[in-house]
């Protein structure tokens, strides 16, 4: 089950791939028209055995919307519509990342440890969020999806992702000085 767009290693460098599209802002007078899409996004996180975030483009809708659910429990989602980064800061940390759209692979990605951003919620209210650590990495991964960037673009030495073995994606592999 599931309707997430999945790509293979051979698709990684295909610029026509839908996952490479830059998503466009949602007209917020229209938020109610997003309910179906957002509910499907929430469902896909829970259907997967490990996902904590998803972007609308992964369901084929090139809109600037992502959902995260760090607990992977019902009603613990944060819905971010037209999100905007305020700042990305803190130390660089390296973690293994995976993506629902490239099943069975993971790769080492360096990201900064903190993010603060603004986003509109399901009620149409703009809220400010600040996260650190693993959550900050997940959110940066989702912001990348909105611009057609995939985690393998950020891997060192442009190596291909590795076949996923069981891993703890909250674990920091390495902390790097700024």
> Which of the residues are catalytic?
142
**For Zn ion, the closer CB: 66 or 112:** 66
DSSP bridge pairs for 108: 96
Stretch that binds Zn ion, among 62-70, 93-101, 113-121, 153-161 (CB under 5 A): 93-101
**Smallest gap, in angstroms, from Cβ of residue 5 to Zn ion?**
10
Stretch that binds Zn ion, among 21-29, 44-52, 98-106, 112-120 (CB under 5 A): 98-106
**Smallest gap, in angstroms, from Cβ of residue 141 to Zn ion?**
6
- Rounded CA-CA distance 100/5 in Å is 8
- Rounded CA-CA distance 82/101 in Å is 21
Write the CA distances from 62 to 18, 24, 65, 145, 164, integer angstroms: 8, 6, 9, 10, 27
Candidate residues 45, 99, 119, 120; the one interacting with Zn ion per rule CB under 5 A: 99
- Rounded CA-CA distance 29/51 in Å is 30
102 sits near Zn ion (criterion: CB under 5 A) = no
- Residues near Zn ion (CB under 5 A): 99
């Amino acid at each position: 089950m599931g309707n997430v767009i999945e790509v293979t290693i051979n698709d990684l460098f295909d610029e026509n791939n839908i996952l490479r599209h830059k998503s466009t802002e949602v007209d917020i007078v229209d938020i109610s028209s997003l309910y179906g899409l957002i509910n499907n996004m929430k469902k896909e996180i829970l259907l997967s055995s490990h996902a904590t975030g998803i972007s609308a483009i992964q369901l084929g809708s090139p809109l600037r919307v992502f959902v995260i659910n760090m607990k992977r429990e019902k009603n613990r989602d944060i819905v971010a519509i037209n999100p905007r980064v305020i700042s990305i800061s803190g130390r660089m940390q390296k973690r293994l990342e995976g993506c629902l759209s490239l099943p069975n692979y993971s790769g080492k990605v360096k990201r900064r440890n903190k993010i603060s951003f603004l986003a509109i919620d399901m009620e149409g209210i703009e809220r400010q969020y600040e996260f650190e650590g693993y959550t900050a990495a997940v959110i940066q991964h989702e912001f990348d999806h909105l611009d057609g960037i995939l985690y393998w673009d950020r891997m060192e030495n442009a190596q291909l992702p590795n076949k996923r073995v069981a891993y703890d994606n909250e674990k920091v592999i390495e902390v790097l000085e700024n």
